[in-house]
Structure 1
């Protein structure tokens, strides 16, 4: 682990599984309560100096981005081994991680002057909070880490980063890589099994918690932060709906539709999770998606030519099997896939489900895997109502040969981001948020940066 800029070992460790084999391939440090205290204290001790020099913070983030790129091979290999994604996708994640730091470094914390005359000056300042606890998930651990610690650091805070126990190694390596470009204590990286995340979120020296993960865990984080009135940002689950309009150019859009659902083996919060299709074009759309599903090369992410790896964890593998089995037992048809693949590891065939409606669990819940239910509709008003009939509200998309027509429909989706003719393609520097149970607060862009600050009014009377 990295605590106060130094290498810290633990007495206890826990096994990290390679999802392509299902076997433990490495041991990760299991942080003790005393070491957690040390990490938070190191961040608190580093805060007073770090908060004072914006130019130094900006330069440090740029240096960190360069160092990440220099270490891309090491980081990407660890990421594939512990998470399962193809090595090319892991390399892309490392690149996006560095880009996130650079993009954040280009932002500035505004200082707004409300009044400035002979009598008084009134300014609105945005000041750092102190120690930020960053708790990240297993699906895109490096990108998620960067989305949290980069704006927190630029705003003048210090950070304790705790990755998921399923994918700790790449984040631990990131902490090592950045030790000599960030001052000691500014970024501390620890790992461990439950209840380490809860202990970090509840720590008395932590002033903000930023968490990405499940709705259930997010509610626990919010509850644990409440007694100390810690600030929180929660990016939780999504059950993103896509709506195809009757004029959609399927030849042009089918590949984007497919990979909008199946990127990272479907393990993306903003992935397309359910697709509503006009009944007159239902079979055509199902067949096009099923053809693509059958053509995907699934395998160990370290092997050349692999397009999709395994599911990342045993619990998620079991959940996907359960949801698909439930749908098939209820009368749904697998137009492609619908089963686990033979051999070791957590491999599940890319699956297109047809002949099902709302009310089936795989439609109503977030599957977070390589499964897309395709549901027919008769009227656009009906499709919008069904898309919005959920506790989730992360993202949505509308697809049409007429982008303006699609945009009018997309504006009515109850979610943080609505796309037209694409899905799951966040733009750099653009804020990202969830409605309803999909989250609290904002990530990305200026709004995300300001979420790591407290607003303060400086009121000067001159006469």
Structure 2
């Protein structure tokens, strides 16, 4: 692989040291990423602070620059796509979707029209609510969608007039570093800085005195640490954290009709989606037929290297997550669960695990109560709808959920009772740049996407003019 550099103040920056990046399809290191030093982080923060002075002032310039950035990403798609597959593991077609989706997020926010907010206009005075940028932003992103989730932060932050220092996951730093390189000559120096390193670097970023906001996507445990680190400086935070999404199938659903969509909602990106279906509650009369249909889907899914033609599910991204999924499935089977499909790792190199459907399992099993974040789905029988809702809501998670039924009005009424940020009916994982995405309970603080996500990168100022 070519040498990878960080982007600090619009210029390439090599690290004093490097760390290995593993291809999850082989389990072997295939590239080196720079390790950002504390001094380099200071330089990146200073560059963001300096660029903020000018960047915040001209909205039209920001819009044009964002559209140019989107065009540059599309132009570099043939380079970005295989790099994303190499470090993350997802099939090339899905990697390409992520690349083009990142450009789409930039275009949406560049074109977002926001109404003028006049709250008083009378003989006494004119009062207007103005949305001002917050300042430099520290953005920390995860390994499951390293590019797209970065632009969930970059696009609204830039549109609002903020500048950023971006740190990707050490498991998937390369495509973010490459984006920094692609956009060096598109965005003004210091507007987007990209650094790479381990967890220690993330801690330095959240405690650093320059950024006025931290936007983090990742686990609940790390999110709590981010919030604690940001608190002494009263930084604003947006935390998009874990989910243990429940899907409830009602007794009038057709298993043959819903099985494929439920499988896709659970196993998209090999189950490595914070808002994927993690628990499936089914009535007893549909259990056997639905489990059989899901198991057939799992057995037919082509698991393999993301570069291989026809691959549907790639490897789990990293060894710790691979070991966690393996442990949770083994724990479930040892506790009496049945693997109707899958249930074990795939022989050979890499972090491959068979797509797994588990039944004869109940609440209390770790794979039901915890977030597995991988290719395994427990199917749980419920007595009645109230029982299903009680069990679905009996968790600290509250990201998303879905309800499946032949009667969409009935399903929507049940979905409204789910304690989560997004409740889908007869579908799952439908997202767009205009649709707000937020979690309840421990699944997050703040909102991403749409005007609501934009507002999260602003602070309110009231300008009052006496008449």
> Shorter-normalised TM-score: what interval?
over 0.9
Cα deviation 1:123-150 (Å, max 9, x = unaligned): 1111001100000000001000100011
1:161 aligns to 2:166 (yes or no) = yes
Could you say which residue in structure 2 is the equivalent of 1:321? 326
1:394 aligns with 2:394: no
**Paired position in structure 1 for 2:53:** 48
Correspondent of 1:65 among 49, 52, 70: 70
TM-score where L is the length of structure 2: 0.98
Contact 2:446/2:456 (8 A) holds in 1: yes
Taking the aligned partners of 1:228 and 1:3, their CA distance within structure 2 comes to 24
Aligned match of 1:408: 413
Q: What is the Cα deviation at residue 250 of structure 1?
A: 2.2
- Pick the aligned partner of 1:89 from 70, 94, 103: 94
Which residue number corresponds to residue 462 of structure 2? 457
Alpha-carbon displacement from aligned partner over 1:388-444 (angstroms, at most 9, x marks no partner): 000000000000011111000000000000000001111330111000000000000
Give 5+ residue unaligned stretches, structure 2.
Answer: 1-5
- Name the counterpart of 2:110: 105
User: Which residue in 2 is equivalent to 1:445?
Assistant: 450
Q: Name the CA distance, whole Å, in 2 between partners of 1:230 and 1:48.
A: 19
| 2:252 matches 1:264 | no
CA distance in 1, matches of 2:119, 2:354: 59
The question of 1:427 aligning with 2:411 is answered no
CA distance in 1, matches of 2:229, 2:145: 25
C-alpha distance in 2 between matches for 1:314 and 1:153: 34
Residue 307 (structure 1) shift:
0.7
Residue by residue, what CA displacement relative to the aligned partner does 1:314-342 show, whole Å, maximum 9, x if unpaired? 11000001100110000000000000000
State the secondary structure of the residue aligned to 2:429.
Answer: coil
1:218-229 mapped onto 2 (5 Å cutoff)? 218-229=223-234
How far the C-alpha of 1:454 sits from its partner, in A, is 0.5
CA contact under 8 A between 1:149 and 1:159: conserved in structure 2?
yes
1:216 corresponds to: 221
Shift of 1:110: 4.0
C-alpha distance in structure 1 between counterparts of 2:79 and 2:394, whole Å? 44
Matched-pair contact (CA < 8 Å) for 2:256–2:290: no
For 2:3, the equivalent position in structure 1 comes to: none
Deviation at 1:183, TM superposition (A): 0.6
1:135 equivalent in alignment to 2:167 = no
Residue from 36, 58, 68 that aligns with 2:41: 36
Correspondence 1:230 to 2:235: yes
Instruction: Report the number of matched residues.
Output: 462
What displacement does 1:109 show? Answer: 4.4
User: Counterparts of 1:436 and 1:190 in 2: how far apart (Å)?
Assistant: 31
1:294 aligns with 2:293: no
The answer as to whether partners of 2:255 and 2:286 remain within 8 angstroms in 1 is: no
Q: Is 420-429 or 321-330 further displaced after alignment?
A: 420-429
357, 360, 381: which is aligned to 1:352?
A: 357
| Aligned-residue offset at 1:120 | 1.4
- Counterparts of 1:360-371 in structure 2, within 5 Å, are 360-371=365-376
| Structure 1 counterpart SS, 2:320 | helix
Aligned to 1:184: 189
Show the counterpart of 1:117.
Answer: 122
1:118 is displaced (CA, Å) by: 4.0
CA distance in 1, matches of 2:114, 2:200: 35
What SS does the aligned partner of 2:352 have? coil
1:68–1:94 Cα contact (<8 Å) kept: yes
- Deviates most, 115-124 or 36-45: 115-124
Kindly indicate whether residue 317 of structure 2 is the aligned counterpart of residue 312 of structure 1: yes
Residue aligned with 2:74, SS = helix
Q: Quick one: which of 172, 175, 178 aligns to 1:173?
A: 178
> Matches of 1:391 and 1:418 in 2, distance apart?
16
d(CA) in 2 for partners of 1:428 and 1:4? 28
Residue 170 of structure 1 deviates from its aligned partner by 0.3
Ranges in structure 1 where 5+ consecutive residues have no aligned partner: none
- What is the alpha-carbon distance in structure 1 between the residues aligned to residue 198 and residue 388 of structure 2? 42
Conserved in 2, the CA contact under 8 Å of 1:111 and 1:126? no
Secondary structure at the aligned position of 1:356 is classed as: coil
Q: State whether residues 334 and 352 of structure 1, in contact with CA within 8 Å, keep that contact through their aligned partners in structure 2.
A: yes
Question: In the TM superposition, what whole-angstrom CA distance separates every residue of 1:369-388 from its partner, at most 9, and x where no partner exists?
Answer: 00000001110110011000
Deviations 1:89-117 (A, max 9, x none): 10111111111111111213443111223
**Is the partner of 2:313 in helix, strand or coil?**
coil
Tell me the distance in 1 between the aligned counterparts of 2:323 and 2:314: 16
- Kept in 2, the 8 Å contact 1:442–1:448? The answer is yes
CA distance in 2, matches of 1:353, 1:113: 55
CA RMSD of aligned residues (A): 0.8
